[in-house]
Chains A and B, each alone.
Chain A
Amino acid sequence: EDQVTQSPEALRLQEGESSSLNCSYTVSGLRGLFWYRQDPGKGPEFLFTLYSAGEEKEKERLKATLTKKESFLHITAPKPEDSATYLCAVQPGSARQLTFGSGTQLTVLP
C-alpha cells in the first residue's frame, strides 16, 4: 500500500529562521512527488514536481529535494506570508491518482 508520512505535524519558526519539512514515502514505482501549499480556508495550490532522486526545484524561499525514500522542503529565511500547510503527494507508476500526506502546518512569527 502506498504511504506518505509528513513531519513534523506543526512547525513554528521566527521570521528568518530557516528549516526543513520532511516527506517520507513508500510507493510502488514512483512516477512523481509533488508539493502543494494550502492556506486556511482555501484549496491546495501546486508548488513543485520532482521525478527522480537527486532532482531539486526552487521557488523564491522554497527548495524541494528528492531522494529514493523521502523529500525535503527547505525554507530559507521564511517570512510570515510563508505560513501555510504544506502537503506532499506521490503518484505511483501505474496510477491515475495522487496519494497525499496529512501535511505540515507552518507558522512563521514576525
Chain B
Amino acid sequence: EAQVTQNPRYLITVTGKKLTVTCSQNMNHEYMSWYRQDPGLGLRQIYYSMNVEVTDKGDVPEGYKVSRKEKRNFPLILESPSPNQTSLYFCASSSLAGINEQFFGPGTRLTVL
C-alpha cells in the first residue's frame, strides 16, 4: 500500500530537549516536504527536498533542521524545541512533476512544555 508514515504520532516534551520526527514514503517520490498546521494559520511549509541531499527552506524554517540521506526518508529535527513549536506536523511526498498532488502522512501532534 502506497503511504507516508510518520513517527511518533503524539509527543509531549520539554523545552530544549532535542527530538526527531521521522517520515518515510514507499512511493519512490523525489519530492518530500514538512508542514506545520496551526488553527487559523493553515498549513505552512517548513522545509522541502527535491531529491537526496537537496533541501531548501520553506516559509517557516526557523528552529528546524532536516536531512535527506535516503530517498525514502526525510526526518525533521528540533534541536532545542520551544513552546511556540507546539503544533500538528505533516510530512508529504510527491513526484517532482506532480507536487500539486502531495501524499500526506497521518500527522504528528507535538506539545512542548
Using a CB–CB distance below 8 Å, which chain A residues touch chain B? Answer: 4, 32, 34, 41-46, 49, 87, 89, 91, 96-103
Interface check B110, CB cutoff 8 A: no
Q: How far is the CA of A91 from the CA of B99 in the complex (A)?
A: 9
B74 at the interface (CB under 8 A from A): no
**A32 and B42 contact, CB distance less than 8 A:** no
Across-interface contacts of B40 in A (CB, < 8 A): 102
The answer for the CA separation of A44 and B62 in the assembled complex, in Å, is 24
Residues in chain B near residue A96, CB distance under 8 A = 31, 48, 50, 56, 99
Tell me if B107 and A42 are in contact (CB < 8 A): yes
On chain B, the residues within 8 Å of A101 by CB distance are 42
Minimal beta-carbon separation of B9 from chain A (angstroms): 10
Q: Are B105 and A100 in contact (CB-based, < 8 A)?
A: no
How far is it, in angstroms, between the C-alpha of A43 and the C-alpha of B101 when the chains are bound? 13
Please state if A44 and B100 are interface contacts (CB–CB under 8 Å): no
A100 touches B107 (CB 8 A): no
Q: State whether A97 touches B100 (Cβ < 8 A).
A: no
A34 contact set on B, CB distance < 8 A: 100-101
Q: Is B43 on the interface with A (CB-CB < 8 A)?
A: yes
Residues of chain B lying within 8 A (CB to CB) of residue A44? 43, 90, 102, 104
Determine which of B56, B58, B107 lies in contact with A43 in the assembled complex, contact meaning CB atoms within 8 Å.
B107
B111 at the interface (CB under 8 A from A): no
By a CB distance below 8 angstroms, the chain A residues around B100 are 32, 34, 46, 49, 89, 91, 98
Q: Can you identify 12 A-B contacts, CB atoms within 8 angstroms?
A: A41-B107, A42-B106, A46-B101, A46-B102, A46-B103, A87-B43, A89-B43, A96-B50, A97-B48, A97-B99, A100-B35, A100-B43
Instruction: Kindly provide the distance from the CB of A101 to the nearest chain B CB, expressed in whole angstroms.
Output: 6
Q: Does B41 contact A (CB under 8 A)?
A: yes
Residue among A41, A97, A103 having the largest count of chain B Cβ atoms under 10 Å: A97
B4 to A, closest residue via Cβ: A43
The answer to whether A98 and B99 touch (CB under 8 A), given A41-B107, A43-B90, A43-B105, is yes
